[in-house]
Structure 1
């Protein structure tokens, strides 16, 4: 008889012994944490999705949370001191008055007030005296003649029918390329008037309220007369004020330079405006008649 060799029995591999697992450091099969897998194309579970933004906001909160450091405490102290100093200065400025001034400052203020009061009293007395003299005298009295002459001189200077003298400037516009036009000269006149000019002429043309400028093939024409380059303005007024006004940004000097010209200003303690304007009677304008008694 042939005997069939017996096959040794092998342990079931699907059921490993607990001793072997313990030896390898692995937990028993019954205690292992099951692995959760998410099929492809499906979003993660709600708990995992909510955990991500919560963790991000927590990190932002931790970063923005103030920390009690020495630098932050020092900055807070400086801010408090600065606020206290500003509040104290404002309170002192609001409450400061004459009681805080020194004796010499009070004396100077009192002298200024007294001098201004005396000057105003003298002007009032002079004007009242002139008024009384005109009211009680006849039309040919010295007071009436002097007042009328002063009024006539003022109107003559404004109308350009009288020569004028006084402090002022000369303004010369060099224009080698011919870029300065009539509009530029008119702007110059307006700027001078705004700066307090009382009488002026350009070349030999007296400038008055009716003066006009026009471009011509040979240059610029003013009140029918051709102006020659360089254009020279003679102006009576406060020299420093007019000189400063011509040099303001965007003013006359800058406008002339942008057109290839150049402006030269000279100040004088006394200057003469000799050109005269031909007086002509108005064709259309008439004075308003004086209202009669009882009329509104």
Structure 2
């Protein structure tokens, strides 16, 4: 509609600027009056075009701002869904296999491994293709069986992690780090694969907070 209005105003301006041969026989005073009328119409048309162009520019600016805000909100939602473990993800990372050999892997060793990986920049983690880890994940030792978020894990423990592979690997191999503790204290064998791509398919169920609420400015 805006473009149509602009076109109409432009046509009016052009037509009012065209001289008609029938004016050749008019008196000077008549021509002055006609010219004054045409000039006023032309000025009005130009003002209308300028007004419509300003309106168009404002609408385009508002549309761009809304589009940018929507894009930012969608990107933020995607990031939060990944960090909360609500969607499957894919990317480079590690596959860590912890096999019990001469002893039983302790819950503290697994938890320490997870914490070091988080510190090294892990963006998504999954145990044994079934338990997606998140900030609120809990570890429990129930009758000698390690449970993560209520799911019993069986050895070997396979932990898949998405993040920068070399950085993640370095977070496990420093002296007295997670791998050293697993091998020397728990009698486990640990193998680490750096992968260009791996898939984490398990997801968590979103839970509504019972007590926490957004702040007034959110």
Which residue, 53, 62, 87 being the options, matches 1:136? 62
Q: Which has the higher contact order (CA 8 A, sep 6+)?
A: 2
Summarize the alignment of residues 243-258 of structure 1 with structure 2, pairs less than 5 Å apart.
243-258=169-184
Is residue 2:194 matched to residue 1:267? Answer: yes
Look up the SS of the partner of 2:187 in the other structure.
Answer: coil
CA drift of 1:143 comes to 3.5
Q: RMSD of the TM alignment (CA)?
A: 2.2
User: What corresponds to 1:286 in structure 2?
Assistant: 213
Which residue, 222, 230, 238 being the options, matches 2:156? 230
CA drift of 1:138 comes to 7.8
Structure number with larger C-alpha Rg: 1
CA drift of 1:156 comes to 0.2
User: What corresponds to 1:199 in structure 2?
Assistant: 124
The list of structure 1 runs, each at least 4 consecutive aligned residues, that deviate by more than 6 angstroms after superposition, is none
TM-score, normalised via structure 2 length: 0.67
**8 Å Cα contact 1:246/1:253 also seen in 2:** yes
CA drift of 1:136 comes to 2.5
TM-score, normalised via structure 1 length: 0.50
CA drift of 1:262 comes to 1.2
Look up the SS of the partner of 2:81 in the other structure.
Answer: helix
Structure 1: segments with no counterpart, 5+ residues: 1-132, 292-296
Kindly indicate which of the two structures has a greater share of residues assigned to strand. 2
Alpha-carbon distance between aligned partners in 1 of 2:60 and 2:188, rounded to the nearest angstrom? 54
Count of residues paired in the alignment: 158
User: What corresponds to 1:4 in structure 2?
Assistant: none
Alpha-carbon distance between aligned partners in 1 of 2:175 and 2:62, rounded to the nearest angstrom? 55
CA drift of 1:206 comes to 0.6
